[in-house]
């Protein structure tokens, strides 16, 4: 296996907004909260961070601010994927120059390339990167499923270090493990499948829920790695309702609302997303607090 980017929980961070602009103060406080609560990595400007609606200037500033704030305490991973390979290369190079420790690359969306095109796309970006690259498969959002054979074809690239698997298909995950072994690391891209994927050899989860439950998600992974499988199972089940509630509308609408209740920005998302209604936000915030208290 190549050098691990992280083991445990990497939080797919929201981007806090206030009156339409990035709330840098809230972002810094969220970074510090995450580190204090024990997460293993921080993902900036990905899907949960509304990366597709950030300007290039906002994207660069968020990555630089994260690197400056974190100061090497945990890896900072920048979301630099695009359906335009040239744009992804530009964003990847900029993130590497800004000091990001790795990049996260979603499969191209809308123009939906072939599997052969995926291989060419990812190899071109990895060739341009001087940091580890994490592939990201999320067909529910992109309309494109990266097959296990494609992951296997990419696993020999020296800078393609891992895959974030959010297909929801456990059989597909098992096939990746069979084809790739330890040639590429695996992370769950779905909170509700964290434990099943750990059981198939995943090194952790890139988590939405850990924005609001960083300690609990970290405990779930720690219990598994300590061999406390029964306790890990109980933690997964305890958090399941909250995990599902945080995905009850398009991510990051629900988690953004809960973060606002916790003081990290306002309940703002950028169009075409719209904020969660107040009563629903209150209900999910209560569920989150109950899960935190156990």
Give start and end residues of each alpha helix (H) in the chain.
24-36, 56-70, 85-98, 115-128, 139-142, 148-154, 170-180, 194-199, 214-225, 229-245, 253-261, 278-293
| Residue pair 233/208 in contact by the 8 Å Cβ criterion | no
Computed over its alpha carbons, how large is the radius of gyration of the chain?
Answer: 18
DSSP letter (8 states) at residue 77 = E
Q: Which of 49, 59, 64 is nearest to 16 (CA)?
A: 49
256 carries an active-site annotation: no
Of 91, 131, 164, 256, the active-site residue reads 164
Separation CA 119–CA 122 (nearest Å): 5
Cα separation, 198 vs 288, in Å, equals 23
Query: Are 105 and 125 within 8 A, CB to CB?
Result: yes
Cα(64)–Cα(138) distance, integer angstroms: 26
Tell me whether the omega of the peptide bond preceding residue 150 falls within 30 degrees of 0, making it cis: no
136 has catalytic annotation: yes
Q: Look-up: residue for tokens 């990847």?
A: 92
Residue 187: its H or E element: strand 185-188
**How many CB atoms lie under 10 A from the CB of residue 261?**
16
122, 136, 187, 264: the catalytic one is 136
Tokens of 285: 């915030």
Q: Which positions are catalytic?
A: 136, 164
């Amino acid at each position: 296996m190549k050098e691990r980017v992280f083991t445990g929980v990497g939080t797919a961070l929201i981007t806090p907004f206030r009156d339409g602009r990035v709330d840098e103060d809230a972002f810094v406080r969220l970074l510090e909260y995450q580190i204090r609560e024990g997460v293993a990595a921080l993902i900036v400007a990905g899907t949960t961070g509304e990366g597709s609606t950030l300007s290039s200037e906002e994207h660069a500033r968020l990555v630089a601010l994260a690197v400056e704030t974190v100061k090497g305490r945990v890896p900072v991973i920048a979301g630099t994927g695009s359906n335009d390979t040239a744009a992804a290369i530009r964003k990847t190079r900029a993130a590497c120059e800004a000091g990001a420790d790795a990049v996260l690359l979603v499969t191209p969306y809308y123009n939906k390339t072939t599997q052969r095109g995926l291989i060419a796309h990812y190899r071109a970006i990895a060739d341009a990167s001087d940091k580890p690259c994490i592939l990201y498969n999320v067909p529910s959002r992109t309309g494109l499923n990266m097959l296990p054979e494609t992951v296997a074809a990419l696993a020999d690239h020296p800078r393609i270090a891992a895959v974030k698997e959010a297909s929801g298909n456990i059989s597909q995950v098992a096939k990746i493990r069979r084809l790739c072994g330890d040639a590429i690391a695996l992370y769950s891209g779905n909170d509700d499948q964290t434990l099943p994927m750990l059981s198939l050899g995943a090194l952790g989860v890139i988590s939405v829920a850990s924005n609001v439950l960083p300690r609990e998600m970290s405990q779930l992974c720690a219990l598994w790695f300590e061999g406390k499988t029964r306790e890990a199972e109980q933690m997964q089940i305890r958090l399941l309702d909250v995990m599902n509630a945080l995905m009850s509308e398009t991510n990051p609408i629900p988690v953004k609302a809960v973060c606002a209740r916790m003081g990290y920005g306002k309940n703002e998302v950028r169009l075409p997303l719209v904020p969660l209604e107040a009563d629903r936000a209150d209900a999910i915030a209560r569920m989150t607090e109950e899960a935190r208290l156990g």
